[in-house]
Structure 1
């Protein structure tokens, strides 16, 4: 029997408030195939990834209709009764670093008695190594979801990896692509993410944050345009700036694994999720994201054959300085286990500083997560 027809997704209006927007570059990927286009894009990319780790891309060969279809599927999943969604949640798996499937809201207490307001549903990439039962609303559309997942990789991630390779002066611009092959075992995943609106009183108790400042753990994260303003980035001047939802773009941020591979040259971007502005604060926020990571076997040591890293003396990272040579698989498991570990709530100051017990932030002996305040 065919699945029922899913209504198209209608995005809410953008905020009319005058927010302090971040000044981010936009890479036009239509230049990618043009003579000299890659080199021009690398020039634009260089400053962004060394300083803030955030930028937009446009003309990425994924239609708005395809994007909106994923928002519609996410909406349909989150409209399911909680008991139905909980069939795809396993608390023990979550605490041992298995993050695919469903995570309900309220998994963590942020502070002052207020629990987190975010639901997450992760769909692993379709590499043949992550067989999972999906709810019917997604299983009935799984080929479409796979096609979208693969497009995220081929049309955006692969192109960015080649630009990074040129930036690093690698002898082969496909070197990083080979470390991120879609059909090789890895931890890439597509995510539908739902933030429930909270009362002003609850928001005030947690300094008007849905989540404190952090970095992502992979290579790059793709955030498809989300008109409910909430994402903020920490710029190189130490200022929190709002990320504006630009039409026809994906917001990209660079992440921990790429920082490790480049000896710290490429910044792992610091970001947080703020309460939306007043004219959107009552609206639930639905996001569609794609997380790209190196294949599981890739060792996250600084890339040895980059002339640029050698000239700059960037030959170590936070892992190697501890005598660790972690594979992506080891890093993801350690970081996810730390992130999902039950922990006491933070002490939250009135100006939005979150302070956790040191043991709650330990990823590995000698290596702790950082909450960016």
Structure 2
């Protein structure tokens, strides 16, 4: 039986509010195959990854039609009745740090009686290790979903990994690519993410935030253009800046595993999700994201054969200082287990500062997650 035809996805208009936008560089991946192009991109990239953790890419060989079709599938999934979506949810999986499938809104308490307003549906990469039942809207188009997932990896992630390798002066620019192979077991995944608009009163109770300041746990995160303004980053001056949606770009942020591998050289970007501005406050926010992580077996110690890291003395990281030599698989499990706890002890001050009991933030003995207020 042929798959049901999905209507075209139409993005909502961008905000007309005068927001304090972040100034981020845009890498033109069209330069990547040109003579000297990689070196030019590395020059542009270095400051962004060392001090900001966010940048845009353009000309990445994924069409807007392909992207919009993923948004349309996300829309169709979230339009399903809750009882249907819950067939793909397991609270016991979340407690064990397993995060693929569906997570309903309200799983976590933000504070002051307000629960989170985000639904998440994660589709693991197609490495043969994550066989799962999928809803019909996904299963009927599973080849298209896999093709999109693989293109995120080969057209964007692998190119960025080669640029990082050049930045680190590694002897082989494919070294990091070999640690992030798509068909080797790993925790990369595609995500459809839905934030439900909520009342101004509820927003005020939680400091106007949908998600407080945090870092991501993998290598890089790809956020496809989302015109509902909500993403904010913390700059080096300690100021929160809005991230502008730019046509024809993907927003990229660098994450914890990459920070660990580089001894802190590459910054794990601090970001949060704020309630949208007034002219978009009534809109739900649908996102399409791809999360890239090192393969499960990769040990997250600082890369030993980077001349740059050796010169700078960046031979330790947060894990090794505790005597830990975590694999990616171990890190993802302990971090996700901490992230999925129901934080019933959270409080939010009138100034919007979030506080949690230490036990709720403990990842490992001696290592606690940070909430950036």
What is the TM-score normalised by the length of structure 1?
1.00
Q: How does 1:6-25 map to 2 (within 5 A)?
A: 6-25=6-25
Counterpart in 2 of 1:64? 64
**Inter-partner Cα distance in structure 2 for 1:39 and 1:343:** 45
Query: C-alpha offsets along residues 33-72 of structure 1, whole Å, 9 cap, x if unaligned?
Result: 0000000000000000000100000000000000000000
Counterpart in 2 of 1:319? 319
**Helix, strand or coil: the match of 1:74?**
helix
What is the TM-score normalised by the length of structure 2?
1.00
Counterpart in 1 of 2:343? 343
**Inter-partner Cα distance in structure 2 for 1:74 and 1:144:** 13
**Helix, strand or coil: the match of 1:216?**
coil
Query: C-alpha offsets along residues 308-349 of structure 1, whole Å, 9 cap, x if unaligned?
Result: 000000000000000000000000000000000122242111
**By how many angstroms is 1:370 displaced?**
0.2
Q: How does 1:184-195 map to 2 (within 5 A)?
A: 184-195=184-195
Counterpart in 2 of 1:296? 296
RMSD in angstroms over aligned alpha carbons? Answer: 0.4
Q: Does 1:222 align with 2:222?
A: yes
Mapped contact 1:219–1:256 kept (Cα < 8 A)? yes
In structure 2, stretches of 5+ residues that fail to align are none
**By how many angstroms is 1:89 displaced?**
0.2
Matched pairs, number: 373
Counterpart in 2 of 1:369? 369
Counterpart in 1 of 2:5? 5
Mapped contact 2:108–2:341 kept (Cα < 8 A)? no
Counterpart in 2 of 1:112? 112
**Inter-partner Cα distance in structure 1 for 2:152 and 2:364:** 31
Query: C-alpha offsets along residues 104-162 of structure 1, whole Å, 9 cap, x if unaligned?
Result: 00001100100000000000000000000000111001100000000000000000000
Counterpart in 1 of 2:128? 128
Mapped contact 1:110–1:345 kept (Cα < 8 A)? no
Q: How does 1:207-218 map to 2 (within 5 A)?
A: 207-218=207-218
Counterpart in 2 of 1:34? 34
**Inter-partner Cα distance in structure 2 for 1:136 and 1:72:** 14
**Helix, strand or coil: the match of 1:228?**
coil
Counterpart in 2 of 1:49? 49
Counterpart in 2 of 1:198? 198
Query: C-alpha offsets along residues 198-244 of structure 1, whole Å, 9 cap, x if unaligned?
Result: 00011011010001000000000000000000000000111000000
**Helix, strand or coil: the match of 2:62?**
coil
In structure 1, stretches of 5+ residues that fail to align are none
